[in-house]
């Protein structure tokens, strides 16, 4: 597929959401709510679960499957309180020594006036800073769209994985084309130049693993992907058993400094 076709596939409404992967990979998920400051943000879900018997903290950007759900979830575009909820859960994970798994799936952080008034930029920046020094392993997985700082705010991981038809970029192709050429209709051309597909990301070293989709991942056929992810997650976290927290954070810091 072309890069633009990958973008369109990543945006398909039938793709499994974060909650789908949480339900099909982890056991006994208990969702936690709120940032203890303003309110709960349905665009980000998170809580406690078990992965192969290991307690973990799971966080994901959540889109809806239809118009009603998308309105409720703000089309998967988090507000500041969403990122602050995610950070609260990550700091709680650090306190109790739980690894963190983050599912990335957003076109970007919500850019409404109210989000800016509540400190959208500060919330994202704080997540980047705090995640870089967290003393537990973090794994980030792009399952659909991975747009701008809204995605990066949950993607400062020791490793970043993605699905074959997921994308991960500094902004949307439409935004890129509008800024560079003043013409949003050149988005397909922008998508090619932005190196945002899984193949490009793997070649550039932005992601460590790419999971193939025999056909575009849909709820009806995603069980093999869940099985592969679960097996690799268990192996991934096992290698950090007994590792000093400072070393875990240093490894993550070095990964991003390498860029």
Would you say residue 13 has pLDDT above 90? no
Identify the sign of the CA torsion 125, 75, 146, 98. positive
- Taking only the tens place, the pLDDT of each residue in 114-165 is 999 999 999 999 999 999 999 999 999 999 999 889 999 999 999 999 999 9
Looking at residue 247, what is its pLDDT?
Answer: 97
Residue 10's pLDDT is 94
Task: Return phi, psi of residue 95, to 5°.
Answer: -60, -40
Residue 158 per-residue DSSP state: S
Where are the domains positioned within the chain?
3-249
Q: Quick one: what percent of the chain has pLDDT higher than 70?
A: 100
Q: How confident is the model at residue 19 (pLDDT cuts 50, 70, 90)?
A: very high
**Which two structure tokens, joined as six digits, stand for 242?**
């007994």
Contacts with 48 (C-beta within 8 Å, 6 or more apart), sequence order: 29, 30, 32, 55, 56, 57, 58, 98
Mark out the alpha helices in the chain (DSSP H runs): 3-10, 18-25, 67-72, 80-96, 113-117, 120-132, 148-152, 173-181, 187-193, 198-204, 223-238, 245-257
Percent of the chain with pLDDT over 90: 90
CA distances from 43 to 69, 90, 218, 243, 255 (A): 10, 17, 20, 33, 28
Average of pLDDT values for 36-58?
97
Q: Which of 110, 101, 94 is nearest to 49 (CA)?
A: 101
The sign of the torsion formed by the CA atoms of 103, 105, 108, 112 equals negative
pLDDT in tens, 156-177: 999 999 999 999 999 999 999 9
Quote the pLDDT of residue 259.
Answer: 84
Element (H, E) at 47: strand 44-51
Q: Does the pLDDT of residue 214 top 90, yes or no?
A: no
pLDDT at 132: 95
For residue range 236-254, list pLDDT tens digits in order: 999 999 999 999 999 999 9
Domain topology for 3-249 = 2-enoyl-CoA Hydratase; Chain A, domain 1 (3.90.226)
| pLDDT, tens only, 218-237 | 888 899 999 999 999 999 99
């Amino acid at each position: 597929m072309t890069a633009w076709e990958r973008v369109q596939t990543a945006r398909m409404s039938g793709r499994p959401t974060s909650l789908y992967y949480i339900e099909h990979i982890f056991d006994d998920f208990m969702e936690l709510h709120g940032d203890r400051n303003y309110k709960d943000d349905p665009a980000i879900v998170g809580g406690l679960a078990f992965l192969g018997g290991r307690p973990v903290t799971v966080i994901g950007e959540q889109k809806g499957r239809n118009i009603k759900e998308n309105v409720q979830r703000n089309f998967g575009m988090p507000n500041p309180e969403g990122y602050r909820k995610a950070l609260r859960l990550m700091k709680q994970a650090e306190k109790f020594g739980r690894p963190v798994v983050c599912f990335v799936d957003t076109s970007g952080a919500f850019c409404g006036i109210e989000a800016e008034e509540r400190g959208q930029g500060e919330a994202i920046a704080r997540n980047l800073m705090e995640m870089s020094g967290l003393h537990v392993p973090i794994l980030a997985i792009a399952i659909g769209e991975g747009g701008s700082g809204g995605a990066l705010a949950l993607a400062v991981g020791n490793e970043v994985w993605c699905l074959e038809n997921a994308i991960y970029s500094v902004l949307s192709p439409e935004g890129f084309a509008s800024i560079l050429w003043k013409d949003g209709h050149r988005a397909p051309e922008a998508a090619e130049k932005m190196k945002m597909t899984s193949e490009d990301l793997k070649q550039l070293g932005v992601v460590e693993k790419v999971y193939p989709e025999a056909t575009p991942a849909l709820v009806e056929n995603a069980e093999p992907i869940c099985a592969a992810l679960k097996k690799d997650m268990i192996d991934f976290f096992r290698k950090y058993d007994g590792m000093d927290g400072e070393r875990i954070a240093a490894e993550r810091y070095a990964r991003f400094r390498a860029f």
